[in-house]
């Protein structure tokens, strides 16, 4: 081989990348929504990134996998919309701005440009005509519009509540920013603070959010469905009314165990609930003082203490008594912090015999424990723990002898008859706190007027644009930085014209991402949030791809928004994401990559070293997409080697474009078409690693065919290599495009549809039958596919190896599954 020949034959990754990028810019193969496109639609969506810097390995995995799906459907002849945008509001921009004394805008838009350019190099199949950035007024104006739609429907409201507070950052934190009781950013211990905040009424949709999960079964990872079910946490039980001595109004408690009402020996109210303070206010000064001290301690407590499992129960006696509605017993009322103010009614009936927490409390304060369910384990008084299982009711009047389930039903009935209670349900889910005392977010479009109260900003005055950050103190101080923008805050009331002030809070960025998938339908509209006709055509999202970190919050909120939009008549579906794929994480040496761990792998360096295609292929081939990839365990060099091997094959093909494949070698064609059949199935079931393996197998078959078989000129070889180029295009678009060109085609392999499977080529005339003796493989031989059971049985028994294995044992049974298998069972 001469030197010049060998140079032609070298797979030069960077040259290929440089060659095709500008051509694709011209070609724009992934523009969607052109007039008159008759292809069936498919909406494929990757979770949009936060512009925190350049793309990292995690993005590289997510977008590689999303691209496999998106490109696959294009090549199956679908009109695919695969848009991208940026979730561009949020704390990191603000923190960077504070640190450098800059406007968060500059930092954000710079990062977006960097990520956009990296995505182009990474050959993401995005439709670049549909880009959105949530920090554009063009976008967040519609957050405000939606907020007002929610507000008008009573789904957005303001209330005072205890929220997470970081004493060091001087700001409220979202639940997701509290990690193990510590502030995500500064590791300070998070405490609680009472503040008036905006909420969205997610709880009103709790039943539907839970029940509709059933419709996602099979199309969403079961893990995500069960996490959402747990998070919503519906429980069934009863509300029970207790008269309180010296109080006109009864107190209602929620219980899942109304059957144990005869076992109630005391009542507990949440120490930080209004009820506790009220009850104590009529007690002795000594109790009032004790309560005040206790309440102070409770307010100081933090999640670290709360999370401790060994924690002793604490509480104080309020000096008040409740009356058990079924037996008239006087129950002392305690205030404690193990009862939550914001769940149920903030008060419980304590049944220490059958609830471990009540048992612990009873033991700490020497309160009676009365068994009312015999579970067969014994008396909780002497057992040392509460018995919570099923059993037979005792010491319970009319309930005696009933099972737990029967007793729950009967007690509920009794209470309803007496007007002392009713069946009830409760949710773990709380309303969504959306206000943030932060600058870099969507301003809440409400004006506070002394005489008119909360006044929505009129629709024609939207958007309420963020004032310039210039001159504003963005540093955390417990109130929103927007409060410092006097010109912006002070307005006249839209209703009465008097002096009024804007709401200075901004919205949680999860609001932005709760409906962005609809904005892609008409990304630049100044008339509507999203075009209703376009929504009919494209939505809902057929395939959503993203990390499992968003399994609860983002997906729950987006589902909530969709249901609200449905009820408002804007969309005709109730679930936003028909199918969901969660990709795993990219690790290095067993743990998540981070600078502080010193195990950070830089995407840009990987791309420089191995090429875009090899990295993308490695992401897909490493294993099942939902599994984590440990970068130390995979071989981008191996991927590059395979791509070069496939590429050389295109180089070798010597037949010309348009040659009649039907004249090609049958055996090779059979391999090609059985590949086509398997590959499509693998991709559609997300077995990308297996799909890649199938391509490798076909490449190996064709390499052999070229070198030692039918030769490079056989039409079947061209047929095979063309399909390989198309298949590789899902993973390695540069290599595929270059192969396509070598094969003599015009640019645009990404739009080349797969050949349909020729079933006639797959019909087998013979097959290898296996013979087992007692389940163990003993022989195999080729037989005709239509061999009769008798003939196969005879042939199996005639085998020397089989006879050797049977030896002197007696044959008990012979199972024949013609033509594939014979199993001989001996005694």
Partner RNA sequence: GCCGAAGUGGCGAAAUGGCAGACGCGGAGCACUCAAAAUGCUUUUCCGAAAGGAGUGCGGGUUCAAGUCCCGCCUUCGGCACCA
Dihedral of alpha carbons 479, 485, 488, 493, sign = positive
- Taking the complex as a whole, the smallest distance from the CB of residue 105 to RNA amounts, in Å, to 32
Q: Which is nearer to RNA, 146 or 348 (CB)?
A: 348
Residue 418's Cβ-count burial label (10 Å; 0-12, 13-18, 19+) is exposed
Report if residue 624 touches RNA, rule: CB under 7 A: yes
Whichever of 80 and 545 has its CB closer to RNA, that residue is: 545
Among 775, 808, 810, 827, binds RNA (CB under 7 A): 775
The tokens for 766 are 């013979």
Give the number of other CB atoms < 10 A from CB of residue 598. 9
CA 546 to chain centre: 7
Interface pattern 491-530 for RNA (x via CB under 7 A): ----------------------------------------
Are 493 and 451 spatial neighbours (Cβ–Cβ below 8 Å)? yes
Token look-up 């009919």 returns: 536
Of the pair 536, 820, the CB lying nearest RNA is at 820
According to the binding rule CB under 7 A, does residue 774 interact with RNA?
yes
Q: Decide if residue 218 touches RNA (CB under 7 A).
A: no
Least spacing, CB of residue 285 vs RNA, in Å: 27
The answer, yes or no, to whether the previous bond of 372 is cis (omega within 30 of 0) is no
Does 365 participate in binding RNA (rule CB under 7 A)? no
Enter the DSSP assignment of 443. B
Rounded to 5°, the CA angle 555-429-184 comes to 70
Query: CB of 563: closest distance to RNA in angstroms?
Result: 22
Q: How far is the CB of 212 from RNA (least distance, A)?
A: 18
Q: Which stretch binds RNA (CB under 7 A): 56-64, 219-227, 513-521, 650-658?
A: 219-227
Length of the chain: 827
User: Which x/- pattern over 59-98 shows residues binding RNA (rule: CB under 7 A)?
Assistant: ----------------------------------------
Q: What is the nearest approach in angstroms of RNA to the Cβ of residue 809?
A: 12
3-state secondary structure string, 42-63? EEEEECCCCCCCCCCHHHHHHH
Which are the contacts of 174, defined by CB distance < 8 A and separation ≥ 6? 164, 433, 436, 508
For RNA, the closer of residues 66 and 346 by Cβ is 346
String marking each residue 571-610 x if it binds RNA according to CB under 7 A: ----------------------------------------
CB neighbour list of residue 416: distance below 8 Å, 6 or more residues apart = 422, 423
Q: Supply the minimum distance, in Å, between the C-beta of residue 254 and RNA.
A: 5
Q: Does 777 bind RNA (CB under 7 A)?
A: yes
Rounded to 10 degrees, the C-alpha dihedral 569/571/577/579 comes to 120
Alpha carbon distance, N-terminus to C-terminus of the chain? 65
Q: Which stretch binds RNA (CB under 7 A): 116-124, 254-262, 754-762, 783-791?
A: 254-262
Q: Name the residue nearer to RNA (CB basis): 462 or 692.
A: 692
Residue 801 touching RNA (CB under 7 A)? yes
Smallest gap from Cβ 293 to RNA, in A, equals 17
Contact partners, residue 464, CB within 8 Å, separation at least 6:
144, 443, 445, 457, 502
Residue of 622, 721, 783, 818 interacting with RNA (CB under 7 A): 622
Residues within window 637-696 making contact with RNA, judged by CB under 7 A: 637-638, 641-642, 644-645, 648, 687, 689-690, 692-693, 696
Site for RNA in 148-207 (CB under 7 A): none
Let me know: does 782 contact 771? Beta carbons within 8 Å. Answer: no
Count of residues engaged in binding RNA, rule: CB under 7 A: 82
Phi, psi (degrees; rounded to nearest 5) at 118: -70, -35
Contact characters 396-435, RNA, x per CB under 7 A: ------------------------------x-x-------
Question: What residues pair up with 783 in beta bridges, in sequence order?
Answer: 767
Q: Which of 18, 129, 684, 707 binds RNA (CB under 7 A)?
A: 707
Q: Which of 346, 352, 523, 576 binds RNA (CB under 7 A)?
A: 346
Examine residue 806 and tell whether it contacts RNA (CB under 7 A).
no
Strand order in the sheet with 821-826: 776-784, 766-773, 821-826, 811-817
Quote the DSSP letter at residue 677.
H
In angstroms, give the least distance from the CB of 780 to RNA: 6
Q: What is the sign, positive or negative, of the torsion defined by CA atoms of 616, 619, 621, 622?
A: positive
Residue given tokens 């030769």 in the structure block: 711
């Amino acid at each position: 081989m001469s030197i010049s020949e060998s140079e032609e034959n070298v797979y030069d990754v960077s040259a290929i990348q440089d060659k095709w990028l500008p051509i694709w810019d011209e070609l724009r193969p992934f523009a969607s929504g052109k007039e008159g496109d008759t292809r069936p639609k498919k909406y494929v969506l990757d979770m949009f990134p936060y512009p925190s810097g350049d793309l990292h390995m995690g993005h590289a995995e997510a977008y590689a996998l999303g691209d496999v799906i998106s490109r696959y459907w294009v090549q199956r002849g679908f009109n695919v919309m695969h848009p991208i945008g940026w979730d561009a509001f949020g704390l990191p921009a603000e923190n960077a701005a504070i640190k450098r004394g800059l406007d968060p805008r500059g930092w954000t838009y710079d990062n977006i440009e960097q990520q956009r350019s990296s995505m182009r190099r990474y050959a993401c199949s995005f439709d670049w005509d549909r880009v959105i950035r949530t920090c554009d007024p063009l976008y967040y104006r519609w957050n405000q519009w939606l907020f007002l739609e929610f507000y008008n429907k009573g789904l957005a409201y303001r209330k005072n509540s205890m929220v997470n507070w970081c004493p060091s950052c001087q700001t409220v934190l979202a639940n997701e920013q509290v990690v193990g009781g510590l502030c995500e950013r500064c590791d300070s211990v998070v405490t609680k603070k009472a503040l008036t905040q905006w909420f969205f009424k997610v709880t009103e949709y709790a039943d539907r959010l839970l029940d509709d999960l059933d419709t996602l079964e099979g199309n969403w990872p079961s893990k995500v469905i069960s996490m959402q079910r747990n998070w919503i946490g519906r429980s069934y039980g009863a509300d029970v009314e207790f008269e309180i001595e010296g109080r006109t109004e009864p107190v209602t408690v929620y219980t899942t165990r109304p059957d144990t009402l005869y076992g109630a020996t005391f009542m507990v109210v949440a120490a930080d609930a209004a009820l506790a303070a009220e009850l104590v206010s009529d007690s002795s000064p000594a109790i009032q003082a004790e309560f005040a001290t206790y309440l102070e301690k409770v307010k100081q407590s933090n999640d670290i203490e709360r999370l401790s499992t060994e924690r002793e129960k604490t509480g104080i006696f309020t000096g008040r008594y409740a009356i058990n509605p079924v037996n008239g017993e006087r129950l002392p009322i305690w205030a404690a912090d193990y009862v939550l103010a914001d769940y149920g009614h903030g008060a419980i009936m304590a049944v220490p015999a059958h609830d471990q927490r009540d048992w612990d409390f009873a033991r700490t304060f020497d309160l009676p424990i009365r068994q009312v369910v015999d579970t067969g384990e014994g008396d909780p008084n002497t057992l040392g723990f509460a018995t919570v299982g099923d059993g037979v009711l005792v010491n319970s009047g009319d309930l005696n002898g009933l099972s737990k389930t029967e007793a729950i039903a009967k007690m509920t009935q009794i209470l309803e008859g007496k007007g002392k209670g009713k069946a009830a349900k409760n949710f773990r889910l709380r309303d969504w706190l959306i206000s943030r005392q932060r600058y870099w977010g969507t301003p809440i479009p409400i004006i506070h007027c002394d005489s008119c109260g909360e006044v929505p900003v009129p629709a024609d005055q939207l958007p309420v644009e963020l004032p310039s950050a210039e001159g504003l103190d963005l540093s955390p101080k417990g109130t929103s930085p927007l409060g410092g923008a006097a010109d912006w805050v002070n307005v006249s009331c839209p209703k009465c014209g008097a002096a009024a002030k804007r709401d200075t809070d901004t919205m949680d960025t999860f609001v932005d991402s709760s409906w962005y998938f609809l904005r892609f339908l008409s990304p630049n509209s100044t008339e509507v949030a999203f075009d209703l006709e376009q929504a009919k055509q494209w939505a809902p999202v057929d395939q959503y791809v993203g990390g499992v970190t968003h399994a609860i919050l983002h997906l729950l909120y987006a589902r909530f928004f969709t249901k609200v939009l449905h009820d408002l008549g804007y969309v005709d579906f109730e679930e936003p994401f028909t199918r969901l794929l969660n990709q795993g994480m990219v690790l290095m040496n067993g743990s998540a990559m981070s600078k502080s761990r010193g195990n950070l792998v830089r995407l840009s360096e990987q791309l420089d070293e191995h090429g875009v295609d090899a990295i993308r292929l490695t992401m897909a081939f490493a294993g099942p997409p939902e599994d984590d990839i440990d970068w130390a365990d995979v071989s981008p060099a191996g991927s590059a080697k395979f791509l070069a091997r496939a590429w050389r094959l295109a180089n070798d093909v010597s037949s010309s474009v348009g040659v009649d494949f039907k004249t090609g070698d049958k055996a090779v064609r059979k391999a090609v078409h059985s590949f086509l059949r398997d590959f499509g199935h693998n991709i559609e079931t997300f077995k990308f690693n297996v799909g890649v393996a199938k391509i490798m197998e076909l490449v190996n078959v064709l390499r052999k065919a070229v070198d030692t078989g039918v030769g490079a000129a056989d039409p079947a070889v061209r047929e095979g290599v063309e399909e390989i180029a198309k298949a590789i295009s899902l993973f390695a678009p540069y290599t595929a495009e270059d192969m396509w060109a070598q094969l003599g085609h015009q640019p645009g392999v990404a739009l080349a549809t797969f050949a349909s499977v020729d079933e006639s080529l797959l019909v087998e005339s013979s097959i290898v039958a296996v013979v087992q003796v007692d389940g163990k493989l003993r022989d195999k031989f080729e037989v005709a596919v239509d061999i009769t059971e008798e003939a196969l049985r005879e042939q199996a028994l005639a085998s020397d190896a089989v006879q050797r294995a049977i030896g002197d044992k007696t044959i008990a049974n012979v199972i024949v599954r013609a033509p594939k298998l014979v199993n001989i069972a001996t005694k």
